[in-house]
Amino acid sequence: MTEGNSFSQIKTTAEPLNNILEKAKQDSFEKEKALIMKVLQGTEGNKTKAAKRLGIHRTTLYQKIKKFGIMQSKHIRL
C-alpha cells in the first residue's frame, strides 16, 4: 500500500470520527444537565446540599446552572 492510499483512508474515516466525538460531547452535556436537575429536585432546590451530593463545590454548581441554562420552576427553588 502506498502512503497516499493510507492517508486518504485516514482522511475518509476522520469525518465520521468527528461526528461521533461531537455526539458524545452533546450526550455528555445533556446527561450532566439532567443529573444536576435531578439532584436539585431531590434537594428541593437547595444548592448547598445538591453540590455536596454531586461532590462539587457550591460555586461550581452555580457555574454549571448558568452554563446549562437551568431556570427556576415551581418545583425547584433555585
Other C-beta atoms closer than 10 Å to the C-beta of 39 total 18
Q: Please report whether residue 75 resides in a domain.
A: no
Q: Please report whether residue 78 resides in a domain.
A: no
pLDDT confidence of residue 71 = 83
Residue 8 belongs to domain with CATH number: 1.10.10.60
Q: Please report whether residue 19 resides in a domain.
A: yes
pLDDT, tens only, 16-65? 888 888 999 999 999 999 999 999 999 999 999 999 999 999 999 999 99
Query: Total domain count for the chain?
Result: 1
Check pLDDT > 80 for residue 1. Answer: no
The pTM of the full predicted model, rounded to 2 decimals, is 0.70
Q: Please report whether residue 77 resides in a domain.
A: no
**Dihedral, CA of residue 45, residue 61, residue 52 and residue 74, to nearest 10:** 10
pLDDT confidence of residue 16 = 85
8 A C-beta contact, residue 70 and residue 78: yes
More confident residue, 1 or 48: 48
